[in-house]
């Protein structure tokens, strides 16, 4: 059984990865399991750069093969913003962040509100080059928040195939179609080769 560090303190994220990696001979560890409290600064200009910084940084601290991800929202009409700044876009969080995004887009018509969620996973192991995989989820930015599920930008992210926002679909369905799930399935293929 091989150990893999999932570079997170988030138990929900660990559960998502555990479900997708089921059947691989892996024991998943978190930063909390290993008592790692250091924060690796995400100062990269892309999701790939930030995921790589975290994977390689936590691998160096733990000595274990490490998976780290970085993700966010890219809105075409805003030149890809908020991008790597998704968590702190406009200098605000929570409902104020949704309003900030809506304010940025108020003059943009429905057909020009295309967006996508992106998740990049970096897989680092001692003595090898770090490998990157990516998952995306296309959608459209709504004119107002809808739904009470999910988190972050989910109430504004409308899925054409689902006829609903991410906040209006079940957690199970979200975990099947999300950008993180797509990236995790690609990561599983890499881990199976290891």
Residues involved in catalysis: 70
Residue 12 marked ligand-binding: yes
Q: Could you tell me which of 151, 174, 80, 89 has the C-alpha nearest to residue 118?
A: 80
Residue 16 marked ligand-binding: no
User: Which residues are CB-contacts of 126 (< 8 A; sequence separation ≥ 6)?
Assistant: 59, 63, 65
Residue 15 marked ligand-binding: no
d(CA 114, CA 188): 29
Residue 71 marked ligand-binding: yes
Residue 38 marked ligand-binding: no
Residue 14 near residue 30 (C-beta atoms within 8 A): yes
Q: What angle do CA 182, 188, 191 make, to 5 degrees?
A: 145
Residue 43 marked ligand-binding: no
φ, ψ for residue 30, nearest 5 deg:
-110, 170
Residue 72 marked ligand-binding: no
Residue 104 near residue 78 (C-beta atoms within 8 A): yes
Residue 45 marked ligand-binding: no
**DSSP for 119-175, written as a single string:** EEEEEE-TTS--EEEEEEEEEEE-SS---SSS-TTGGGEEETTTTEETTTS-HHHHH
Residue 89 marked ligand-binding: no
Annotated binding residues for substrate, as ranges? 8-13, 71, 151-154, 174, 179-180
Annotated binding residues, as ranges? 8-13, 41, 70-71, 151-154, 174, 179-180
Annotated binding residues for Mg(2+), as ranges? 41, 70
């Amino acid at each position: 059984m091989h150990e893999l560090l999932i570079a997170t303190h988030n138990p929900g994220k660990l559960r998502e990865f555990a479900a997708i990696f089921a059947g691989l001979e892996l024991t998943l560890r978190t930063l909390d399991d290993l008592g790692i409290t250091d924060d690796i600064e995400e100062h990269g200009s892309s999701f790939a750069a930030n995921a790589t910084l975290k994977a390689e940084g936590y691998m160096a601290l733990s000595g274990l093969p490490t998976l780290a991800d970085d993700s966010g929202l890219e809105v075409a009409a805003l030149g890809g913003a908020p991008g790597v700044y998704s968590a702190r876009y406009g200098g605000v969080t929570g409902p104020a962040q949704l309003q900030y995004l809506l304010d940025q887009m108020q003059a943009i018509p429905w057909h020009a509100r295309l967006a996508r969620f992106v998740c990049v996973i970096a897989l680092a192991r001692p003595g090898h080059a770090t490998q990157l995989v990516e998952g995306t989820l296309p959608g459209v930015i709504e004119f107002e928040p809808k739904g009470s599920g999910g988190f972050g930008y989910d109430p504004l992210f409308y899925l054409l195939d689902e006829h609903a926002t991410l906040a209006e679909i079940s957690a199970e369905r979200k975990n099947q179609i999300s950008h993180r799930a797509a990236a995790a399935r690609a990561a599983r293929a890499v881990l199976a080769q290891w």
